[in-house]
Structure 1
Amino acid sequence: MMRAGIVVPTLGDRPELLEECLRSLARQSHGTAKTVLVTTEDAADRLARAFPRVPVVAQNGAGIAAAITTGWRDFGDRVDALGWLGDDDRLPSASLGSALAELERCPDAVMVYGRSRYIGADGEHRALLRPGRLGVPMLRMGHNLVLQPGCLYRRSAVEAIGGLDHGLRLAFDVDLHRRLVGHGRARYIPAVLGEIRCHPGSLTTRHRAESRREADLVLTRQMPAWARRTRPLWGPASGILMRVTVRFGSR
């Protein structure tokens, strides 16, 4: 049976949401998942006391991508699949079991993604995104519908492409997905695998414009030269296709 390792990068400044996040991981139907909290050296002791049942590791390097890499390295070869979860997000109880089963069923799959549910600060449902199998073609065309919470990656594939880009501040997940789908197959599960919390304190909300700029940069830099040059010709049509996919696929 495959084993998953999930990193929760956190500063520990939202203890109620962090507790809810960890509770969602503890309730996973798949019993072989490992979780580690990765934080700054200053917060490590405090979080270890607050959450004694979860291993806490001080990150090596600055930034969220470096924190996630620190946790992945801590797992080593004890896990077969890797992921991470923001300290304000959640996973439905069947998320890891479904994703791991798909990776086991498809040995050539490098990652698994699914539907994403947006929740409010109160945890209540707000909206649902169903990227479908069009998520990967859209990614190659420069549009990101494959949202990270709930995604699971084969460890050997992540290592083969060199892991996360620590030079990116916000869109390192988009960059990882784009490189992974260039390396192998991504499998889609028509079920909610992740819940993304929308609130004023989230990074996505506070730095929305910067996140979009960085995501556009990483998506376009990996396009073939001919695609970048001709993007003004086919880009508007692909944008319309993306909006149609979001509108009708997310109902």
Structure 2
Amino acid sequence: MTSTLPVISLVTCSYQQERFIDATMRSVLDQNYSSLDYIVVDGGSQDESANIIAKYSSSLSYWVSEKDAGQTDALKKGFANAQGEIQGWLCSDDLLLPGALQAVGEFFLNNPDVDALYGDALWIDADGKPLRAKREMNFNQFVFLHDHNYIPQPSMFWRKRLYEEVGGLDDSFNLAMDSDLWARFSEKTEIAHIPQYLSCMRFYPEQKTRSMKPAGRLEDLKIRTRGSRLAHIGFVRPMQYVLARVIRAVSKALAGGYGASVPERFLPWLDAHATPAKNNER
């Protein structure tokens, strides 16, 4: 069965992330996925990032360290070099959990009509300590558009044909490029959810999405109001938000999302692999 698993192209974009990039790359390469197409795009970092990436060059399909126009541009460059049937991206401070790619590959193999899926995730801090589990509800387009993007980005994967059909990433988005892509995916296909923890997302003050929240909200608003005449009527959007929040609360509760805790089986792995200082000593 292993030989029939689809090729997964995973893109990691990075800039000035010497603190995290080694742990991120090891979390991918240690998957030992038989059909991995791993691409790393560094934006010309002036720290040790390029040297760290170069250590793993023999395991990479493509890598480059050069100036770019930002994260979305770097991701587009990565996907332009991707060869796999399945695609996804992992930011340079996030991690894949053990067995993630195997689970994704098997799901796509066994479900040929599914073009996009996401799994669950764990929130961890900058030092790799677990904060909480993010167990999610199934995809609901109304909730996604009128509440918030609840899909954990590093746990999202899709078929290359879908990415190409929607025109890929839109580089007019600097923060909500993932929300924009998922929204366009949802217009073309049903997005599946597998109740399995696939990734870890770091949560710390210097994070791009936290430090640039106001700009992110404007990009989100652009996604949620485009193509909708009703959205521009004063009382409609608040009503849609309230309804979406209710559906969200009920659906997430039924999925066990509010009572979820970090599974103990992941704690030793996090202690050994998610702490930047420990990885850099190896």
- Percent of pairs with identical residues: 24
Aligned position for 2:258: 250
Aligned position for 1:238: 244
| TM-score normalized with structure 2 length | 0.78
Are the counterparts in 2 of residues 143 and 219 from structure 1 also a CA contact under 8 Å?
A: no
After the TM superposition, which residues 89-108 of structure 1 pair with which residues of structure 2 at under 5 Å, given as runs? 89-108=94-113
Aligned partner letter, 1:249: G
- CA RMSD, Structure 1 to Structure 2 (Å): 2.4
- 4+ runs deviating over 6 angstroms: none
Supply the distance in 2 between the matched residues of 1:6 and 1:250 (Cα, whole angstroms): 30
After the TM superposition, which residues 1-251 of structure 1 pair with which residues of structure 2 at under 5 Å, given as runs? 1-11=5-15, 13-40=16-43, 42-43=44-45, 47-52=49-54, 53-54=56-57, 55-58=62-65, 61-75=68-82, 78-221=83-226, 224-226=228-230, 229=233, 230-245=236-251, 249-251=257-259
Supply the distance in 2 between the matched residues of 1:132 and 1:21 (Cα, whole angstroms): 26
Deviations 1:74-121 (A, max 9, x none): 12xx21111111111001011122122222222222211011210011
Are the counterparts in 2 of residues 110 and 154 from structure 1 also a CA contact under 8 Å?
A: yes
Deviations 1:195-249 (A, max 9, x none): 1001122112212332233223213325x43466433433322223334555662
Larger Rg, first or second structure (1 or 2): 2
Could you say what secondary structure the match of 2:115 adopts? Answer: strand
Offset of 1:50 from its aligned partner? 2.8
Runs of 5+ consecutive residues of structure 2 not aligned to the other structure: 260-282
Supply the distance in 2 between the matched residues of 1:64 and 1:240 (Cα, whole angstroms): 34
Supply the distance in 1 between the matched residues of 2:67 and 2:192 (Cα, whole angstroms): 32
Runs of 5+ consecutive residues of structure 1 not aligned to the other structure: none
Aligned partner letter, 1:21: T
Supply the distance in 2 between the matched residues of 1:44 and 1:73 (Cα, whole angstroms): 25
Are the counterparts in 2 of residues 102 and 187 from structure 1 also a CA contact under 8 Å?
A: no
Aligned partner letter, 1:8: T
Give the length in aligned residue pairs.
246
Supply the distance in 1 between the matched residues of 2:241 and 2:48 (Cα, whole angstroms): 49
Supply the distance in 1 between the matched residues of 2:150 and 2:118 (Cα, whole angstroms): 10
Offset of 1:43 from its aligned partner? 3.5
| TM-score normalized with structure 1 length | 0.87
